[in-house]
Amino acid sequence: MSIVVTGATGSLGRLVIEELLRREVPAGRVAAVVRDGQKAAGLAALGVEVRIADYDDPASLAGAFRAGDRVLLISGSEVGRRVPQHTAVVKAAEAAGVAQLAYTGILGGPEADFELAAEHKATEQAILDSGLPYTFLRNGWYHENYTAQLPSVLAHGAVVGSAGEGRIASAARADYAAAAAAVLTGEGHLNQVYELSGDTAWSLAEYAAEVARQSGKDVTYASVAAGAHQEVLTGAGVPEGFAAVLVDVDAAIGRGRLAGTSGDLARLIGRPTTPVAEAISAALA
């Protein structure tokens, strides 16, 4: 039996494997499912088993899993293509007879009423239909979704968004990775659903103020209408379709859909979640 992480060379996947090894899971019991074996050379050097498979190639997934494996399906990044991709993974896991299929969905699950959630809801249903023992890790927003934009924010002196006064209970990507490792190595997590988010919700105005405080520069929150936000994003090079998805997420934030603080994440990782101020500090450094 192995603990298998799909998308293992991505930002989240690497952190999950690091966390598994930190928890003293033997490297030989960890398997990384990747599209490009060369990108996984560092993992292989640690003793992690590398399995080559592609979400877009169902035939390749036939060798990705073994009976009894505990599997983490990390959602793909290609919005609009994820339902067939994820369904192919679910079918391969079902055929192999895995012991657990954990999935990184989105906060709110069936109650999430924004476009980005649709593929996650469809994937959860496919997993339920498969009959496999599951764990749904409904991840909230990552701090890094915002801190990755700090160079532009500092250059323009503004955090631009259309979320109004909506609040965001984000957490560090490493926090979500630790939660995934906890459910893959612990007991009592089969057929469970976890709503994962940070301990504290914050507004974009508060975020801008914290960036200003830490950077010593004038940074404000520019609250704009949805149409103007779309134009800003496309003007910055974001593809029009994905820009529309991001604007829709801001509308959801304005409705409070990413503000929930269930405490599930802190309970799974056994510590408070990383404050956004700490993430800002790390990014600025």
User: pLDDT tens digits, residue range 242-271?
Assistant: 999 999 999 999 999 999 999 999 999 999
Q: In terms of Cα–Cα distance, which of 115, 128, 34 is closest to 87?
A: 128
Separation CA 65–CA 19 (nearest Å): 21
Q: Quick one: pLDDT at residue 79?
A: 84
- Say which range, 79-83, 108-112, 132-136, 209-213, has the weakest mean pLDDT: 79-83
**pLDDT higher than 90, residue 155:** yes
Q: Quick one: pLDDT at residue 80?
A: 79
Q: Are residues 39 and 109 in the same domain?
A: yes
From 96, 115, 139, give the residue that closes a domain. 139
Q: Quick one: pLDDT at residue 190?
A: 98
Q: Quick one: pLDDT at residue 191?
A: 98
**Number of domains the chain contains:** 2
Q: In terms of Cα–Cα distance, which of 139, 155, 266, 245 is closest to 195?
A: 139
Q: Distances from the Cα of 48 to the Cαs of 4, 52, 106, 185, 195, in angstroms?
A: 10, 13, 28, 16, 29
User: pLDDT tens digits, residue range 69-122?
Assistant: 999 999 988 887 899 999 999 999 999 999 999 999 999 999 999 999 999 999
Q: Quick one: pLDDT at residue 118?
A: 95
User: pLDDT tens digits, residue range 30-59?
Assistant: 999 999 999 999 999 999 999 999 999 999
Pairing of strands 192-196, 167-168: unpaired
Contact 92, 25 (CB under 8 A): no
pLDDT bracket for residue 139 (50, 70, 90): very high
Q: Are residues 59 and 105 in the same domain?
A: yes
> Which CATH number characterizes residue 46's domain?
3.40.50.720
Contact 113, 257 (CB under 8 A): yes
**pLDDT higher than 90, residue 126:** yes
Q: Quick one: pLDDT at residue 21?
A: 97
Q: Quick one: pLDDT at residue 81?
A: 87
Q: Quick one: pLDDT at residue 1?
A: 86
**pLDDT higher than 90, residue 149:** yes
Task: Provide the domain limits for residue 247.
Answer: 141-172+197-259+274-285
Q: Are residues 29 and 119 in the same domain?
A: yes
Q: Are residues 73 and 134 in the same domain?
A: yes
Q: What is the residue-averaged pLDDT of the chain?
A: 96
**pLDDT higher than 90, residue 172:** yes
Q: Quick one: pLDDT at residue 17?
A: 97
177, part of any domain: no
**pLDDT higher than 90, residue 146:** yes
Q: Quick one: pLDDT at residue 78?
A: 84
Q: Quick one: pLDDT at residue 76?
A: 87
User: pLDDT tens digits, residue range 270-281?
Assistant: 999 999 999 999
Q: Are residues 149 and 279 in the same domain?
A: yes
Q: Quick one: pLDDT at residue 86?
A: 97
Helix (H) or strand (E) holding 278: helix 276-284
Q: Quick one: pLDDT at residue 195?
A: 98
From 139, 156, 182, give the residue that closes a domain. 139
Q: Quick one: pLDDT at residue 77?
A: 80
222: β partners:
160
Q: Quick one: pLDDT at residue 24?
A: 94
pLDDT above 70 covers a percentage of the chain that reads 100
Q: Are residues 119 and 235 in the same domain?
A: no
Query: What is the 8-class DSSP label of residue 13?
Result: H
